[in-house]
Amino acid sequence: MEGYRLFFQEGVHKRYIANAMLGGILASFTTWNYINISTVLTILLFLALLSIISSVDIATMEIPNTFVIAALVLGIISIFTMPGTSLPSRILGMFVVSVPLLLITLLIPGAFGGGDIKLMAACGLFLGTKLTLLSFAFAVLTGGLYGIWLLVMKKKSGKEHFAFGPFLCLGMAAALFIGDKVWHWYVGLLYL
């Protein structure tokens, strides 16, 4: 028992354990939802990248261009390993969220970070139009709830910023696993 206590005191943080557990769960969901091994490997690399981006953005409030380039490279690879999404949808996915974010940021300086905008453009190539829109909707919902919680708990004032990248990454991961189901449910509501 003393060995375990020393192990935890010497630098292993709860966040690393949570990341490892989350990685295992996401790997299980990936192999359950996708059969093709090249698709599974591409998605696992994408999820690992999203996890790293989230951790870095939380710590530094910045998404380095290296990670954006890595997401873009995975998007290019996914054209061949995930043929279910058309190339026009992927190209439109690069612009459908990133351009409105850029315009909002030009109108309201500091509304979104440049890393968030570039990340959505790069990941739009990976996800395609539909999943990019859904991932952003998930991100706005979860990020908005977190922002409300911060205000209610008086942890931040209305003028302070928080890292939005983790919510974008969470939205992208959610879109990969439940995006099609949510999309069909929503479209079904529209045509009742």
Greater pLDDT, 134 or 158: 134
Q: Exposure pattern of 1-31 as b/e (b: 16+ CB <10 Å)?
A: eeeeeeeeeeeeeeeeeebeeeeeebeebbe
Q: What is the DSSP string of 72-96?
A: HHHHHHHHHH-TTS-HHHHHHHHHH
Q: What is the pLDDT of residue 16?
A: 67
Residue 3 is predicted with a pLDDT of: 45
Cβ neighbours of residue 96 closer than 8 Å, sequence gap 6 or more: 124, 129, 132, 133
Q: Helix, strand, or coil here: 166?
A: helix
66 alpha carbon, distance to own chain's centre = 16
Summarize the confidence of residues 135-152 as an average pLDDT: 91
Residues 3-30: tens digit of each pLDDT:
445 444 545 566 666 667 777 777 776 7
Q: What is the DSSP letter of 174?
A: H
- What per-residue confidence (pLDDT) applies to 1? 45
Q: What pLDDT, on a 0 to 100 scale, did the predictor assign at position 34?
A: 72
CA distances from 143 to 122, 134, 150 (A): 20, 14, 10
162-192 confidence digits (pLDDT tens): 889 999 999 999 999 898 888 888 888 877 6
Does the pLDDT at position 80 exceed 60?
Answer: yes
Q: Average pLDDT of the chain?
A: 85
d(CA 105, CA 72): 22
**pLDDT per position as a tens digit, 91-120:** 999 999 999 999 999 999 888 889 999 999
Q: What is the mean pLDDT of residues 133-156?
A: 89
- Distance (Å, whole) CA 151 – CA 157: 6
More confident residue, 33 or 162: 162
Q: How much is the pLDDT for 86?
A: 94
Mean pLDDT value across residues 118-143: 95
Per-residue pLDDT, 37: 87
Question: Tokens 């069909």 — which residue?
Answer: 184
CB atoms within 10 A of CB 90: 21
